[in-house]
Amino acid sequence: MSSAQQRIQEMLARFEEQATAAAQLKDKMGAIRGEARSQDGAVTVAVAPSGAVLDLRLSQQAMRQSHTALQQAIMQTIRQATQQAAETMNATVEPVLGDRAEQFREAYNAHGAQPPAGLDDQPAARPEPPAAPPRAETPPAAPNRPAPNAPSTPPTRRGQDWDDEDFSRDSFLR
């Protein structure tokens, strides 16, 4: 075997090892979950490393709390579970990526949902009443268009937009 062929074989072997390691890392990352329970045990949350809530359980005790206390307990528990998932993610990718693990974390966090800064310092927001649904209004007729269901005659002059009809209320099929 020539030197070039041997190098190609070595490169292919390294690529296959890296592909196997990447597939294993992907499987491990897919299984990562962060779980947390509030101090009083009323709220239990499971999240993905991105912070997406996968499960939320409220005990009977949670229903006895005020809505603001429950809201704060849920948010705090989500933060704890997300932190746990992030730590597990770091521990999982660090051995595989080595010195590139920090680059991975930065890229991963750039796409993940981050809570607004200072959220813990703000009082719980009161829910706003839902806005009234918009009134149904009939849109004004388009200028230079025939009224709906009126017979239309194609323009006779060349160069006009003869194919630019408004089919918003009727089918475009004739």
User: Which distant-in-sequence residues (6+ apart) come within 8 Å of 101 by Cβ?
Assistant: 90, 93, 94
Q: What is the pTM of this model?
A: 0.53
45, containing H or E segment? strand 43-47
Question: Given this model, what pLDDT does residue 67 score?
Answer: 93
Question: Given this model, what pLDDT does residue 68 score?
Answer: 95
Nearest to 18 by CA among 96, 114, 112: 96
b/e 84-108 (16+ beta carbons within 10 angstroms → b): bbbebbeebbeebeeeebeebbeeb
CA atoms in the 13 A half-sphere facing the CB of 124: 13
Number of domains in the chain: 1
Residue 7 covered by a domain? no
Residue 125 covered by a domain? no
CATH, residue 48: 3.30.1310.10
Q: Which residues constitute the domain of residue 50?
A: 32-115
- Helix, strand, coil percent values for the chain (each to nearest 5): 45, 10, 45
Residue 44 covered by a domain? yes
Phi and psi angles of residue 116, each rounded to the nearest 5 degrees, phi first: -60, 145
Radius of gyration of the chain measured on its C-alpha atoms: 30
Question: Given this model, what pLDDT does residue 95 score?
Answer: 80
Question: Given this model, what pLDDT does residue 100 score?
Answer: 77
Question: Given this model, what pLDDT does residue 167 score?
Answer: 54
Residues of the chain with pLDDT under 70: 1, 109, 111-174
Angle at 173 between CA 169 and CA 174, to 5 degrees: 105
